[in-house]
Amino acid sequence: MWDATWESIFQAREWGQYPGEDVVRFIARNYYGVPNRAAVKVLEVGSGVGANLWFLAREGFSFSGIEGSPTAVARTVARLDREVPGWKGNGSEVRVGDCLSLPYANDSFDAVLDIGAISCNSFEDSQRIYAELLRVAKPGGMLFSRVVAGGSWGDGTGVPAGRRAFVNCTEGTVAGMGLIRFTDERDVDDLLGGWKRMAIERSIWTEGDRNHEVRQLNIFASKS
């Protein structure tokens, strides 16, 4: 279930304007060699203010973004209109919606992206979201999901809210961001359900003069 905390966050602060290197690398490795990039359809759930969609538009891919925050969607559309004129020409779109019930047909997308959004859901809802992503991915379609890893700074703080989840963590880069679920590697297959896991990569960096570790898992999977 989408956490309304994020509407307040997007209203109160600027958010990332540029995609992470891991997103660029995933798209480049798998889709830069396609002769007609507009034929590659990418879905991002929890698209925020559209940094990844901006990148996809600049690179000529077709995309759909779905995000619970009306403020974030409005900022995304305004930036795309301003910086990538004609971005809707290949059928690309951004809308307000719920990741638990995606408004797309079965077998619609070549790739699906989750850059931190699923970590803002309970374990059970996360399983449902991964199942929805599997439904709308084409056979052979690929998933890239970046999640907050177990042991990351802030894990165990805040109010317990189910399996490895806490509301309003009191420490770390996720402090005050509503519900955050911390993912252990041993939980990944249970979360993915019918996805075929291909690889898990770790990202770790330090904060506070190396006193705290921020940990993420990058999960790669495909639809058999």
CATH number of the domain that residue 33 is part of: 3.40.50.150
Q: Tabulate helix, strand, coil % of the chain (nearest 5).
A: 35, 30, 40
Ranges 14-18, 21-25, 33-37, 67-71: which has the least confidence: 14-18
Question: 107-137 as b/e, with b when 16 or more CB fall inside 10 Å?
Answer: ebbbbbbbbbbbbbbbbebbbbbbebbbebb
CA distance 126 to 124: 5
> Is residue 171 in a domain?
no
Instruction: Tell me the three state secondary structure of residue 159.
Output: strand
> Is residue 173 in a domain?
no
Q: Cα 11–15–20 angle (5° rounding)?
A: 155
> Is residue 22 in a domain?
yes
> Is residue 168 in a domain?
no
- Beta-carbon contacts of 89 under 8 Å, excluding residues fewer than 6 positions away, are none
Provide the token pair at 89: 């020409």
Q: pLDDT, tens digit, for every residue of 62-106?
A: 999 999 999 999 999 999 999 999 999 999 999 999 999 999 999
> Is residue 11 in a domain?
yes
Residue 171: what are its φ and ψ, rounded to 5°?
-140, 160
> Is residue 160 in a domain?
no
> Is residue 158 in a domain?
no
Q: What is the pLDDT of residue 38?
A: 97
Mean pLDDT of 12-27: 87
Task: State the residue for tokens 């519900």.
Answer: 179
Ranges 7-21, 36-50, 60-74, 133-147: which has the least confidence: 7-21
Mean pLDDT of the chain: 95
Q: What is the DSSP letter of 183?
A: B
Ranges 50-54, 60-64, 173-177: which has the least confidence: 173-177
Q: pLDDT, tens digit, for every residue of 113-142?
A: 999 999 999 999 999 999 999 999 999 999
Domain residues for 89? 5-148+183-222
Total structural domains within the chain? 1
Query: Residue 207: which H helix or E strand, with range?
Result: strand 196-207
Q: What is the pLDDT of residue 1?
A: 62
> Is residue 84 in a domain?
yes
